[in-house]
Structure 1
Amino acid sequence: MKGIWVVVALTLEVALAAIPEETLDWWQTSVFYQVYPRSFKDSDGDGIGDLNGIADKLGHLKDAGIGAVWLSPIYKSPMVDFGYDIANFTDVDPIFGTLEDFNRLQNRAKELGIKLVLDFVPNHSSNESDWFVKSLQRIDPYTEYYVWVDPKYDAEGNRIPPNNWLSEFGGSAWEWRAERQQYYLHAFAVQQADLNYNSPYVVEEMKNVLRFWLDRGVDGFRIDAVPYLFEDPELRDEPLSGKPDALPSESQYLTHIYTQNLPKTYDMIQQWRQLVDEKKAEDGQTRVLMLETYAPIDKVMAYYGSEERPGGHFPFNFLLISDLNKDSNAYAFNETVHKWIDNMPEGRWANWVIGNHDQHRVASRYGPELVDGLNMLAQLLPGSGITYNGEEIGMVDAHISFSDTVDPAGRNAGPERYELFSRDPERTPFQWDDTFNSGFSTSNRTWLPVNSNYHQLNLAAQKEAPVSHYKVYQRLIELRKQPTVQRGSLQTYPASEKVFAFSRVLSGKIPIVVVINLGSETEHVNLDALADIPENLVVDVASIYSSRVAGASVSRSDITLDPKEALVLTSASQI
């Protein structure tokens, strides 16, 4: 796919050339749907979602048009960080079920033609894992499985950590263990001990984890917390960030030049890519690697790797989360889209993420009126689409009191600052219907409270309604099957300060135009600057607060948009 991304600068637009006609792989045309297992569906009445619940609800994802499901961690864990503190990487936690339940889920997914992707959490393990217990006791080869460092001493002779590194969850990133008379590193919770990738035993151990699940037939991995895999061997102090709102105990207080995105990290990703490509060589089936990489754009793009040594199939594109908010104008949206497109290495594949289990929900960040517009961006811009469970119905953050807060990032911040850090509001149970607990669980108490708005906002109601976020979402996923969306050129255009538009065009196919009013006032715009678009357009799908319906006529040169209105336009009522 060399030579795909050809960029031509225009006045307020940039054109992206069409992809040559060829067969795209499944991961390029699919929508990846993130299931947060604890919150999806509880099948046994304990208030926590599980594998059998997911299997029972896969029909919903098939109806929505989803091609691949990514599961947040399901492995055996003390659940300090709700599965991201893994005690056994090759077994299922009893909370979620058994390996047999996993097989049932996998078989059901195959019946429905849905790929199954697992979360791979390589940076750390639980400090209750057998590996850590043996490392604590200096039992080889586990002795150096973790990042152990001798203490420093201050002028008074008091033992202190080896440097100023801070945990993402607050406080020092070092924890003292008297048994070894050393500190161990934890980039996250104290119970999440960082693995030492300078140990060849650890490297091979984690490759064996990948092999275990590949041999069980999984279709790929989302790799968690990629930037943290390696640290500065000299253990140098990190510089202050200068952020005025950050407390000295909070990770944002430092700039992480010695603990994130080190050169060896890229090499490790390339080794894992080689491993999954070797599996593909056996049967011709691609196993995808998706990378969680919050980092400056140049460091993110380096995770694609090179032609000789490819990295991940794609690092997640978080720019629609990190660089934009409800007050951003059309010029900011245009700049943000091209920040990814223009920096992406030649021949690579884009993706668009608008939410996940670590970020406040789209409806809460942008407002419910822009949910459909953001889904249009995520699904109709070039590349793979990513959806966090609940975004298809426009779920919003729930208010979670400090007493109900369970996220360690929130608990560690304390009652005065927990709302700045807690990820609980975006993790509340999926809202299936208006029955008890929104149909999520029969338990009197769920692991997080169900959002009280479930009586009005739920999937069942949106399936019955003539117009709903869910029905808009279904149509967007259907549109993704079109060659214009899969292979068409991209041209973006800020039609005014508040109206962002883009087109997808492919020779011989019907063009698709997306236009979004980001503002709170009526806007009158002209889209003549978009090339190869007919004058007379019709609405294919409209946001739910739009006064227009599918099939309504629109003039390219004179469009009036209601506040927050978003439209997908084409040259025919049916594509």
Structure 2
Amino acid sequence: MFYQVYVRSFADSDGDGIGDLPGITSRLPHLAELGVDGLWITPFYTSPQHDHGYDVADYCDVDPLFGQLADADALIARAHELGLKVVFDIVPNHTSSEHAWFKAALAAEPGSPERDRYLFRTGKGENGEEPPNNWDSVFGGAAWDRIEGTDQWYLHLFDRTQPDLNWRNPEVPAMFEAVLRFWLDRGVDGFRVDVAHSLYKESLLRDQVKEPDDDGKRRSAVAGEGGMVEVKAKDEPMWDQPEVHDVYRAWRKILDSYEPARMSVAEAWTQTPESTARYVRPDELHQAFNFAWLLAPWSAAAFKEVIDSTLSAIELVDSSPTWVLSNHDVTRHVTRYGGGPVGLARARATTLTMLALPGSSYLYQGEELGLPEADVAPEFRQDPSWFRTGEIGRDGCRVPIPWGGDAPPYDFGPGTGHPWIPQPEEYGELTVEKQAADPSSTLAFYRATLAARRDLVAAAGDAIDAVEVTGDVLTFERGPVTVVVNCGKKPLDLPDGEVVVSSAALVGGKLPVDSAAWVRTG
């Protein structure tokens, strides 16, 4: 069980309105009390921050915005004192345009060794004025940027300040293997691999075959107006190429060479459960986020389909699934499920369901407080996709979380006033301080559920039985626990046994609508 920390928005130690490493360290007791096993921290490396750290200029140092290298060491040490593992985010698809390699590439000639570290190509048209192919950026617009005054273009599947690396150049894998060892030697317990499916592109960089209404990317209904998902067209010459698996076989050898062995988890937006499962074969990465669970609507039948297809695919590679409901790239699930009391009730119920499933789960900071997606005014939006497309981006799920007090910044950091993205007034009722004193709060629910998970469910191994849908009700068994999820329109009777935890208070002994429960029946 891991907890995602979005470094900018977790805790601010110096009052500049931006979260940092000392801030995270100061709040680690919250995670220990919550009952998670570890934390995944988004990038804090040296960066111009065009994509809030996912544009890395130096993979082996800490950006002054977030602290110093010694602060990373102190965070790892304090987490280990509290029994928490620490996973760092690594970004291997692209660097910042301010990385020393890319600066050298711009200064060099076409066809030079410096340019071969990236994907430079000659443009189409009489004077090279058109992009080399028809690929689109995930952040909107073309995936190519032209070097002014030349016919040369470079590929960027994300922002123009994030040039894609050429993984067929041996210098690239060698550099990242050195980066892994740098942080592993400092005690980190593993890595989350950003867009793990994107490293290799088809070698000819051919045009993408698109449907007539396909702009090269799909915005999922799960993301509403805010979240972005990766390119998901039927034809994907830029994603999920077979060569990428050799990279992770090499990385697995490095991870396994440390004592104790370290772990890895892939962000891989692939088209099927089977293609995702390939990333967690025994000699590759340890985990891969199961985005099918995140994408599922509030539906007993949809939940069953995801559970069945995920477990079937994972069984083929003798691995375990990894579940996630929210992260820094998608609309918070309280809002996805309808917002308000209904959205919160469904969010709690789906969380309870997820935590009963086999494998690992990842929580996103603030979901233990029931935070909804925030409505960020245009003048405060900072997501690069907003600037490229004019569409609402991911800022609403990245608003700094509230710790205490009655006014901004709600103890997010010292001083007064709003942090880097303003917090809504409703956060004043959702602080850790207030919820810790309320036994019926969402925070209390998460703490109770995680405690029950350790005591009852985790010991059951990967076995899950009797996954059934009856009408709008999902049930399954995990060890001594029967899980019941009421997606219907009326309260229902629970099976005989002790109710261990429920996402909502029972009414007359019945499970309310939009809720779930664990019942000890074994």
Letter paired with 2:451 = E
Letter paired with 2:512 = D
Change (3 A) 1:274 1:566: same
User: 2:481 maps to what in 1?
Assistant: 512
Change (3 A) 1:37 1:253: closer
How many Å apart are 1:289 and its aligned residue?
A: 0.8
1:325 to 297, 308, 318: 297
Is 1:522 matched with 2:495? no
2:135/2:216 contact within 8 Å kept: no
User: 1:438 maps to what in 2?
Assistant: 410
How many Å apart are 1:181 and its aligned residue?
A: 4.5
Q: Deviations over 1:467-496 (max 9, x none)?
A: 111111112211232364333421244443
Letter paired with 1:289 = S
Q: How does 1:552-563 map to 2 (within 5 A)?
A: 560-563=510-513
Q: TM-score, structure 1 length as denominator?
A: 0.83
How many Å apart are 1:570 and its aligned residue?
A: 1.0
Q: How does 1:411-430 map to 2 (within 5 A)?
A: 411-414=387-390, 418-419=391-392, 422-430=393-401
How many Å apart are 1:321 and its aligned residue?
A: 1.4
Range with bigger deviation, 427-436 or 83-92: 427-436
Q: Deviations over 1:165-200 (max 9, x none)?
A: 111011111111147752111010000010110100
The Cα RMSD (Å) is: 2.3
Q: Deviations over 1:294-352 (max 9, x none)?
A: 111222111123x4xx1110111111212x123xx211211111110011124211111
Alpha-carbon distance in 2 for matches of 1:133, 1:387? 37
User: 1:12 maps to what in 2?
Assistant: none
User: 2:116 maps to what in 1?
Assistant: 144
User: 2:261 maps to what in 1?
Assistant: 286
How many Å apart are 1:434 and its aligned residue?
A: 3.4
User: 1:395 maps to what in 2?
Assistant: 371
1:545/1:565 contact within 8 Å kept: no
1:463 to 436, 455, 460: 436
Alpha-carbon distance in 2 for matches of 1:431, 1:277? 38
Larger Rg: 1
Q: Deviations over 1:515-559 (max 9, x none)?
A: 12123x2143576xxxxxxxx3121112245447xxxxx6xxxxx
SS of equivalent to 2:136: coil
User: 1:533 maps to what in 2?
Assistant: none
1:116/1:220 contact within 8 Å kept: yes
Q: Deviations over 1:145-184 (max 9, x none)?
A: 1111112215xx5621111011101111111114775211
Alpha-carbon distance in 1 for matches of 2:213, 2:345? 32
1:383/1:486 contact within 8 Å kept: no
Q: Deviations over 1:371-415 (max 9, x none)?
A: 22122122211111211111111111000122221101122111x
How many Å apart are 1:456 and its aligned residue?
A: 1.2
Change (3 A) 1:126 1:443: farther
1:296 to 271, 291, 295: 271
Question: Any unmatched runs of 5+ in structure 1?
Answer: 1-30, 506-510, 528-535, 549-553, 555-559
SS of equivalent to 2:200: coil
Alpha-carbon distance in 2 for matches of 1:485, 1:161? 52
Change (3 A) 1:423 1:545: farther
2:276/2:288 contact within 8 Å kept: yes
SS of equivalent to 1:110: helix
Q: Deviations over 1:72-105 (max 9, x none)?
A: 0010100000000001110001111000111121
Q: TM-score, structure 2 length as denominator?
A: 0.91
1:174/1:186 contact within 8 Å kept: yes
- Residues matched between the structures, number: 501
Change (3 A) 1:504 1:73: same
Alpha-carbon distance in 1 for matches of 2:164, 2:388? 19
User: 2:199 maps to what in 1?
Assistant: 229
How many Å apart are 1:245 and its aligned residue?
A: 8.7
Q: How does 1:238-387 map to 2 (within 5 A)?
A: 238-243=208-213, 255-279=234-258, 283=259, 285-297=260-272, 298-305=274-281, 307=282, 310-322=283-295, 324-326=296-298, 329-344=299-314, 345-366=316-337, 367-387=343-363
2:193/2:267 contact within 8 Å kept: yes
Alpha-carbon distance in 1 for matches of 2:218, 2:327? 28
Question: Any unmatched runs of 5+ in structure 2?
Answer: 220-227, 338-342
Q: Deviations over 1:41-67 (max 9, x none)?
A: 111010100011100000000101111
Letter paired with 1:379 = L
Q: How does 1:199-218 map to 2 (within 5 A)?
A: 199-218=169-188
Range with bigger deviation, 132-141 or 74-83: 132-141
Identity of paired residues, percent? 34
Letter paired with 2:503 = S
Is 1:564 matched with 2:519? no
Is 1:114 matched with 2:114? no
Is 1:153 matched with 2:125? yes
How many Å apart are 1:141 and its aligned residue?
A: 4.9
1:496/1:525 contact within 8 Å kept: no
Alpha-carbon distance in 2 for matches of 1:55, 1:537? 41
Is 1:449 matched with 2:422? yes
2:471 to 497, 507, 513: 497
Alpha-carbon distance in 2 for matches of 1:459, 1:243? 45
1:145/1:196 contact within 8 Å kept: yes
How many Å apart are 1:224 and its aligned residue?
A: 0.2
SS of equivalent to 1:387: strand
Alpha-carbon distance in 1 for matches of 2:384, 2:459? 40
Is 1:52 matched with 2:22? yes
